[in-house]
Each structure stands twice: as C-alpha cells, then as structure tokens.
C-alpha cells in the first residue's frame, strides 16, 4: 500500500501505454483489562473527541494537495491525533512488511531491509519470520512509530501481480502461519501491526475498480482462511481493507467481508482501517470500516465531518462511532501503546539486525537446478566471470510502499517512468554486492565482471572462464503488474548465449515472482535468490560456495507456461494503460476478475485439479545433501513421521504433509509442514497438527467434514509425494 496521493502524483509519469504446530499467540493476560480500559475511555470522551481517532492524515510533503501535519507528527505513512486529556497516545504509522519506509530520502536516516516476502516464505520457518517481525517492529519504535502497516497476507492467485514479492505464498496454511508469526514479532514491541490487504487483492491492474467474483465457499477455503489463521495466531490490532471490489462491493465497504466474516464469524476485536484513498462514501462506516486513512485523499472527510453530522441525526451512525472508537482503543490498550511509548531516536543495532537479514536470506534461497553437482563451487576455482544484474553494485529490491533504504541509501537507483525524487518507485539496489562477496570467498580466483549489456563481451569472457555466473533480475513494484513471466531486457538471450559458450554456467535469479526459463536445460545450476535484502550479496555467495547449504523451498508454483494459469491473460492488462493509481480511466469503466475459475484451488492445487505439471512445483528445493521422510502415521488430527539426513553434510529440509484424496475425490492440500535441521546421518521424529478446516468444506452452516476415507502423503514437494496413508474419519460440522 503506497499512499494514494503518491499514486496520483506519479500517475501521469507512469502512464506508459502449519499445519506445522500452530504457534498461536498466547492469550493476552490483559485482554479483559484492554476491553475495560477501552470502555472507560469511551465513556469519558466528549462528543468532539470521538472524532480524533477515526481518521488520519499523511504527513508527507508530496502530491498536489498535501496535508499540513502538526509539528509533533513524524514523516511517515499516517498520523492520528491522540487525546492527551485522556492519556490516549497519537498513532504514528509507517510502512511496511519488509522494513521501515520513508527513511533516507525523506528523513535522512536508515533502516534494515529484510528479504522480500517470497524469500521469507521460502524459509518455511515461522520462528525466523517472527524474529524478522520483531526486528522491524523494534526499528519502528526506535523511529517513533507505533503502528506498522505490515502483515501482507494475500495469496498469489496470479504470479504476474506486481506485489507478489511482498507476500508469503500461494497456500493458506503456509501464509497464515507465517503472517501470524510476523505479526507476533512486530507487536512484541508494544506497537500495532495491521494484516492486509483484506481481501482478495490479487492484481494491481485497475486495483481501485477491479471487481473480484468469487463464491463464499471458495473465498473461505483460500484467501480468507489465510487471513483467519493469521489473525488467530498474530492477533493484529488492525486490519487494512483493500482497494478492489469483491462481488460488486468495495472491500472497504463490504458488509460481507467486514461485518459478516471478520467481526461476526471471526469475532475480531480490533479495528479496520482503509487503504490510502480507498473510501468512497460515508456508508462504509455502516458496512464495517472503523478508520479512514489519509482522509484528505478521499472525496470527502467522511469519518470526521460527515460522520459527526450523521451521528446527530441517525442513531445507527452514533452507535457505529462509539464502536469505531471502542475498537481502536482496544487495539491501543491490548498492545500497550499507552504504557510503552515509542521512543524516537532510540539506538538501533544495525549490525545485529543485518545478521538476521543475512540468515533469513540464506534460508530463503532456493536451489532449483544442480547438474552433476556443479554447486557448491570450489574455492580453488581459477577463473570466474560474473555477468549482469548490477552484481558489482548490490542486490535488487521491490518497489512501492515496501521499499526500504539502508543507512547510506541505495547503492544504485534507476528512475522508472519519470520518477523524480519519489524513490519508492525507482528500481533500487541494496548495498550488498555479490561480486565483492564472491571475491572474498574465492581469494585465489581471477574474478572478472561484465555488465551484460552486450552479449558479445559476456560470451567472450565466459568462454575463457572456468565458471560463468549470470545474475538475472526482474524488478517488481506495487501498482504495476507484469505482462508475462519472461526476464526483461534480453536477459533470456544473454543466458542462452553464455550457456552455449560455457557449459558450467550458473544462473542467479533476483526476481519478485516466478519466471519462465527457456534456457534451463543448458545451464549447470540455477538458484532463486528473490529480493534478498540488506545482506543479500553475502547470502548468495555463501550458498554458491557451500558455506551455506541451501534449504529454501518454493512457496509459489513456477508454471511451465502462462497458458497454464487459470487466467492466461491478466484481466485488464491488455486493455488498460499502465496506471499506478489503479483508478478507472472513465467514471463508468468496468473490470471484472473471475476467481471462481479456480475457486480455492490456487497454484499447486490448480495444477493437481487440472493435471498440469509445473516448471518447478510448490515446495520444491534442492540441497547439497539428501533427506528421507518415512513412517507416516496419522489419525487425521495430528501426524508423526521420521526425517533423516541420508547425505554427507549437515543441512535443513522442509517435510511437507499433503491431503491427497477424500474418498473418491482427488483434493490436494498442504495440511502440515516442518522445517528440520539435521547433521549428516541424523534422524528426528516430527509431529505436526492438522487443522480440521483444511480437510473441510465451507457451506451455509459453517465447516463440515464428510465421513469417509482420507488419504495423506509426505512430499518433497507438491508433485513428488510418498506412499498414501489412509484414515477413516467421522462426519463433523461446526461454525467458526
């Protein structure tokens, strides 16, 4: 979510054509206290004070109509005036999931950039993700913020989505567990985290008016289940609703999403804030919206001026105004914002935080191909040529509201579409150069660099080197989807030519989404490094030279072709001009996305349903050692099995448990997973729980499991499964 005013400012320039045991948050001992304090504060509020918390402004000096923030506001995403008379603190908001935004360029300070959401998802490590959340939560407090706009939980229905890199996975269980743990980590710092973008925010093209069509059952069994798990585990203080429409209603004014699902069925106690520029009418208040973000960027100040008038004449709005305040107050008190105030200027241990970013990047790198054990590279290699990808400068990061700058700003910044100064929409590289890290780990080698702009010099250098390492990049950003899954700027042709010249060619991908690989069979090895964050260059070199045994597993399917997607043409991509804002080109413009095509069968589930095979399936990843997973035993509620390292070096694997059939019905679903670190020859018994919702269907009366035989199998990935173990389960029905 980049603020809507920033979108408007850049629109013209850019218009170019667990399963694993659910680590649920422990019950808050102060939950009842928070509710009591919220009620007491609400009773003490004067009528005019009830308007203080229900709207915010954006204290950034950008856009055609920037707000004039009060002196105490901090440059960031949003500012909500508190009520000093009642000891209610102001809310100071910042982006986002991968680190603190709006630094360096606007504030002249820095923050730690964690690897992208996909990289974090590829760790399959809830503890690591929780530690990452705690890190950025700490930095948020140290910079004076007490609300972090993180917690991205959208599933990857289309890998061409420009925001794919921000999110964790295509699977509701993996996403729900990881986002819940990220939120736990963030809120451990006495600040509020959001979970976003609620819900079914599957594309950036026409994002403010695309109308998602999906059945209640399909939504509850997929995208909404990811949010539900994340809320249960992380207990976020706030939910940020999305720009898009869902079944004809704006997500921020959807009675179904906000009142029926979130507040009634899930009994959510926190508040719903809008995305910036997503509110179109006062009616959103009755539909469940509690807070209008950056109200100056909407058509009117609905939750300040308009709601004050409405509350005087209509008791429905008066009741809603009270409930809005009650929910916001609960989030403040439940997370201790009144007790532990954010301390601007507190010291940050950037070295320690950088080490965590390094370890996260190492765990998230996925080894996709390793012909004849081309990797790890020997440190005694005599000659290496490194080609392309700004590998001499840094590692790529994604654009938009998740853009983070280190203490010295970006290593390289390439303006996109006339972006002059608003660096969140520039292609940027973090200051962690893979070339320098490779030279450090291969001190005896002659390591040359070619920038890859021209094929001939790269081929000439590759032909005379022992090893050629090509860095291939694909930039992604909020606000702009990708037309296909190819590598841009002729990089496919470059890789093809270099691989023809040197059979020992290794490709390092820095991408924000899956890509096609027409050159795959001609390469020796391929690793997916994603956007690896502040220490990504060192992480990549560590994997290349075997200092780190790769253990990442794909959290998203790499399709074999765009034609294999449920919607081979992304809705609106070829009919709308690129528009970062995502507003309709004309007031009556319509755009629809039919998610009932795949329903709840996203990614690997779609392939299983339709008999397709992926280029690389969900859960795939190679290692420098080998593992076995055997002895599966399950009663349908929990499962146990043994994982063994049967290779010669220590490493980590991710054991994956799938439901593969339900009676005669073929239905593949990830129902459990465990990341396991083992020494060579070591084995370990693993236990996982199975959430019954993963075995069930959603209907008008809630969840139901039919009586019958259920088949489960352990998998190296979604397409490589072991023997099926069948268990008979009784019928069961329940509500959330």
Q: Is the pLDDT of residue 8 over 70?
A: no
Report the range of poorest mean pLDDT among 248-257, 401-410, 586-595, 699-708.
401-410
Instruction: Please state the rounded mean pLDDT for residues 369-397.
Output: 96
User: Among residues 122, 112, 99, 225, which one has the least CA distance to residue 168?
Assistant: 122
Task: Please give the residue range of the domain that contains residue 619.
Answer: 604-734
Q: Mean pLDDT, to the nearest integer, of 363-371? A: 98
Radius of gyration of the chain (CA): 25
Q: Is 726 within the bounds of a domain?
A: yes
- What whole-number distance in Å separates Cα of residue 20 and Cα of residue 125? 10
For residues 651-667, give the mean pLDDT.
Answer: 95
Tens digits of per-residue pLDDT, 396-430?
Answer: 999 999 999 998 889 999 887 654 445 667 899 99
d(CA 620, CA 602): 16
Separation between Cα atoms, residue 442 and residue 354, nearest integer Å: 23
Measured distance CA(197)–CA(709) in Å, rounded: 37
446-472: per-residue pLDDT in tens? 999 999 999 999 999 999 999 999 999
Residue 14, pLDDT score: 31
Residues of the chain with pLDDT > 70: what percent? 93
- Please report the pLDDT score of residue 476 as a whole number: 96
Peptide bond connecting 376 to the previous residue in cis, omega within 30 degrees of 0: yes
Structurally, the chain folds into a number of domains equal to 1
Position 5 scores a pLDDT of 36
Residue 284 is assigned to a structural domain of this protein = no
> Which phi-psi region, left, alpha or beta, contains residue 155 (left: φ > 0; alpha: ψ -120 to 50)?
beta
CA-based nearest residue to 534, from 74, 116, 49, 104: 116
Tokens of 183: 């939120």
Does any domain span residue 315?
no
Q: Provide the 3-class DSSP secondary structure of residue 331.
A: helix
pLDDT of residue 482: 95
Please tell me the distance from the alpha carbon of residue 734 to that of residue 715, in angstroms, as a whole number: 30
Residue 714 lies in a domain: yes
Return the CATH number at 643: 2.60.40.10
Residue 506, phi-psi category: left (phi > 0), alpha (psi -120 to 50), beta (remainder): beta
Q: What is the pLDDT of residue 420?
A: 43
pLDDT, one tens digit per residue, over 21-51 is 344 444 444 668 999 999 999 999 999 999 9
Helices and strands counted in the chain (H then E): 15, 30
Rounded to an integer, what distance in angstroms lies between the CA atom of residue 80 and that of residue 192? 13
Specify the pLDDT at position 423.
Answer: 63
CA distances from 166 to 68, 99, 403, 618 (A): 31, 11, 10, 17
Question: Residue 577 burial (CB < 10 Å; 0-12/13-18/19+)?
Answer: exposed
425 vs 686, residue with greater confidence:
686
Distance CA(197)–CA(400), nearest Å, equals 14
Does the structure show a pLDDT above 60 at 61?
A: yes
Looking at residue 556, its pLDDT comes to 98
Query: 102: left (phi > 0), else alpha (psi -120 to 50), else beta?
Result: left
Distance in angstroms (rounded) separating the CA atoms of residues 193 and 188: 10
DSSP character for 64?
S
- Which of 73-77, 417-421, 431-435 has the highest average model confidence (pLDDT)? 431-435
DSSP calls for 606-651: HHHHHT---SB-TT--B-SS-EEEEEEEE-SSEEEEEEEE-SSS-E
Q: Using H for helix, E for strand and C for coil, what is the string for 150-195?
A: CCECCCCCCCCCCCHHHCCCCCHHHHHHHHHHHHHHHHCCCCEEEE
In a domain, residue 647? The reply is yes
Give the model's confidence band at 296: pLDDT under 50 very low, under 70 low, under 90 confident, else very high: confident
Residue 555 lies in a domain: no
Query: What is the rounded CA–CA span in Å between residue 418 and residue 240?
Result: 30
The whole-number pLDDT of residue 15 equals 32
DSSP letters along 388-428, please?
STTTTT-EEE-BSTT----TT--SEEEE-TT--S-GGGEEE
b (16+ CB within 10 A) / e for 100-131: bbbbbbbbeebbbbbbbbbbbbbbbbbebbbb
Gap between the Cα atoms of 669 and 141, Å rounded: 39
Instruction: Specify if 161 maps to a domain.
Output: no
Which tokens belong to 253?
């004014």
Q: How does the average pLDDT of the chain come out, rounded?
A: 93
| Beta-strand pair 525-528/665-678 | unpaired
Residue 32: per-residue pLDDT? 85
Confidence of residue 96 (pLDDT cuts 50, 70, 90): confident
pLDDT for 570-625, tens place per residue?
A: 999 999 987 888 899 999 999 999 999 999 999 999 999 999 999 999 999 999 99
Q: What's the token pair of residue 226?
A: 């990811």
For 438, the 3-state DSSP assignment is helix
Mean pLDDT in residue range 561-575: 96
Is the residue at 704 inside a domain? yes
**Average pLDDT for residues 181-187, to the nearest whole number?**
98
Is the pLDDT assigned to residue 209 strictly greater than 60? Answer: yes
pLDDT at res. 343: 76
User: How would DSSP label each residue in 579-595?
Assistant: -TT---SSTT--EEEET
């Amino acid at each position: 979510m980049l603020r809507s005013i920033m979108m408007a400012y850049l629109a013209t320039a850019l218009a170019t054509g667990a399963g694993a045991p659910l680590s649920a948050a422990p019950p808050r001992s102060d939950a009842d206290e928070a509710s009591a304090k919220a009620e007491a504060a609400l009773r003490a509020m004067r009528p005019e004070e009830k308007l203080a918390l229900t709207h915010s402004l954006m204290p950034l000096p950008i856009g055609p109509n920037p707000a004039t923030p009060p002196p105490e506001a901090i440059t960031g995403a949003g500012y909500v005036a508190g009520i000093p008379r009642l000891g209610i603190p102001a809310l100071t908001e910042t982006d986002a999931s991968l680190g603190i935004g709006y630094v360096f360029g606007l504030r002249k300070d820095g923050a730690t950039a964690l690897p992208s959401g996909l990289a974090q998802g590829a760790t399959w490590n809830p503890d690591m993700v929780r530690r990452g959340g705690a890190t950025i939560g700490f930095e948020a407090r140290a910079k004076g913020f007490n609300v972090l706009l993180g917690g991205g939980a959208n599933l990857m229905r289309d890998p061409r989505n420009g925001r794919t890199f921000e999110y964790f996975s295509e699977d509701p269980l993996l996403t729900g567990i990881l986002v819940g743990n990220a939120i736990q980590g963030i809120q451990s710092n006495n600040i509020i985290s959001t979970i976003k973008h609620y819900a079914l925010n599957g594309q950036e093209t026409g994002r403010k008016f695309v109308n998602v069509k999906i059945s209640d059952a399909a939504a509850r069994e997929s995208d909404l289940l990811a949010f539900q798990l994340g809320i249960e585990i992380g207990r976020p203080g706030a939910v940020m609703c999305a720009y898009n429409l869902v079944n004809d209603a704006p997500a921020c004014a959807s009675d179904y999403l906000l009142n029926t699902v979130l507040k009634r069925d899930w009994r959510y106690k926190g508040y719903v804030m809008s995305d910036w520029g997503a509110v179109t009418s006062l009616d959103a208040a009755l539909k469940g919206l509690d807070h209008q973000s950056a109200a100056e960027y909407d058509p009117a100040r609905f939750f300040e001026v308009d709601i004050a008038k409405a509350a005087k004449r209509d008791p429905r709005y008066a009741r809603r105004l009270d409930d809005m305040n009650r929910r916001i107050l609960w989030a403040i008190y439940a997370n201790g914002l009144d007790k532990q105030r954010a301390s601007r200027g507190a010291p940050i241990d950037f070295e320690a935080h950088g080490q965590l970013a390094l370890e996260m990047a190492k765990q998230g790198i996925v080894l996709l191909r390793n012909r004849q054990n081309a990797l790890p590279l020997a440190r005694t290699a005599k000659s290496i040529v490194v080609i392309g990808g700004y590998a001499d400068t840094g590692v790529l990061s994604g654009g938009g509201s998740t853009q983070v700058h280190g203490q010295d700003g970006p290593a390289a910044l390439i303006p996109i579409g006339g972006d002059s100064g608003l660096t969140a929409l520039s292609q940027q590289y973090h200051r962690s150069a893979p070339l320098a890290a490779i030279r450090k780990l291969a001190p005896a080698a002659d390591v040359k660099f070619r920038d890859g702009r021209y094929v001939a010099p790269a081929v000439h250098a590759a032909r005379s080197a022992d090893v050629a390492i090509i860095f291939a990049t694909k930039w992604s950003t909020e606000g702009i989807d990708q037309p296909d899954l190819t590598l841009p700027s002729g990089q496919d042709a470059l890789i093809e030519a270099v691989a023809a010249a040197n059979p020992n060619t290794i490709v390092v991908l820095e991408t924000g989404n899956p890509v096609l690989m027409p050159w795959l069979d001609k390469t020796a090895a391929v690793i997916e490094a994603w956007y690896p964050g502040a220490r990504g260059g060192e992480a990549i070199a560590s994997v290349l030279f075997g200092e780190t045994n790769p253990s990442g597993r794909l959290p998203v399917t790499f399709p074999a072709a765009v034609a294999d997607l449920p919607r081979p043409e992304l809705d609106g991509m070829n009919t709308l001009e690129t528009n970062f804002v995502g507003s309709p080109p004309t007031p009556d413009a319509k755009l629809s996305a039919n998610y009932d095509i795949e329903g709840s069968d996203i990614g690997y589930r779609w392939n299983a349903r339709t008999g397709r095979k992926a280029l690389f399936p969900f859960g795939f990843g190679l290692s420098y050692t080998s593992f076995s997973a055997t002895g599966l035993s399950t009663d349908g509620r929990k499962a146990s099995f043994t994982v063994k390292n049967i290779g010669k070096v220590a490493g980590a694997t991710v054991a994956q448990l799938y439901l593969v059939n339900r009676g005669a019905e073929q239905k593949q679903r990830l129902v459990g997973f465990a990341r396991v670190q083992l020494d060579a020859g070591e084995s370990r018994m693993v236990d996982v729980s199975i959430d019954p919702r993963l075995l069930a269907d959603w209907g008008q009366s809630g969840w139901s499991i039919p009586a019958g035989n259920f088949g489960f199998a352990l998998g190296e990935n979604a397409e490589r499964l072991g023997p099926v173990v069948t268990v008979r389960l009784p019928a069961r029905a329940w509500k959330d």
